[in-house]
Chains A and B, each alone.
Chain A
Amino acid sequence: AQSVSQHNHHVILSEAASLELGCNYSYGGTVNLFWYVQYPGQHLQLLLKYFSGDPLVKGIKGFEAEFIKSKFSFNLRKPSVQWSDTAEYFCAVPNQGGKLIFGQGTELSVKP
């Protein structure tokens, strides 16, 4: 069965530090990959997605993610984080039944 793993459960960074959050999945037939963000007290919002084409995907607020098929990974990056990036980040991939499954989430705390 498909599984999604987000290695980092809680990341604490200072403003201007670089960010990389890991996401690995097990089902090789995956084609649609997503990162969602949930700001404190809010609902999930789409950060970026990969469906096909250039494996380096750019999203909102300066975030990007790279799809590496051989590593079953879709890591999220941002060169310089801001305090306003404090949120929880979820990776999501489809399972074999065509339903999205979500990782456990990574809580990012950015210190001003």
Chain B
Amino acid sequence: DAGITQSPRHKVTETGTPVTLRCHQTENHRYMYWYRQDPGHGLRLIHYSYGVKDTDKGEVSDGYSVSRSKTEDFLLTLESATSSQTSVYFCAISDRASTDTQYFGPGTRLTVL
């Protein structure tokens, strides 16, 4: 398995609170991604990064922000969590291109009450 860790692995929070999820990789891959997985929707891209300090929006970016200050770390922040953001969040990495093989982290299960 690729060296990808996510923290926390599980989190329960309340509506309106900020939440930050962390993805850490040891592969030195250029591209990093945040997806959410919901039943019936597959995986949907939230934000991605193509280098340090270089990020862009995916298809479901509203209510989320990201930061990448180091190659190995990609943070996802829910600025004010809502119940609709209850989901499983996966981080992924790829090396040479955004259409290259992506390797996934173990996921974070977030529940917003």
Contact residues of A with B, CB < 8 Å? Answer: 31-32, 34, 36, 42-46, 49, 90, 94, 98-105
Contact = CB atoms under 8 A, between A and B. Distances in A.
Contact of A43 (B42, B97, B100, B104): B104
Contacts of A101: 45, 59
How many of chain B's residues touch chain A, expressed as a range?
20 to 34
A105 to B, nearest CB: 5
Contacts of B104: 36, 43-45
15 contacts: A32-B99, A32-B100, A42-B106, A43-B90, A46-B103, A49-B101, A90-B43, A98-B99, A99-B45, A99-B98, A101-B45, A101-B59, A102-B42, A103-B42, A105-B42
A100 B98 contact: yes
Contacts of B92: 44
Contacts of A100: 45, 98-99, 102
A4 to B, nearest CB: 8
Nearest to A6: B42
A98 B48 CA distance: 12
B43 A94 contact: no
A36 B100 CA distance: 13
Given A44-B104, A99-B45, 19 more contacts: A31-B99, A32-B99, A42-B106, A43-B90, A43-B104, A43-B105, A44-B43, A44-B90, A45-B1, A49-B101, A90-B43, A99-B99, A100-B98, A100-B102, A101-B45, A104-B40, A104-B41, A104-B42, A105-B42
3 closest Cβ pairs, A-B complex: A102-B42, A94-B99, A102-B43
A98 B43 contact: no
Contacts of B106: 42-43
Contacts of B8: none
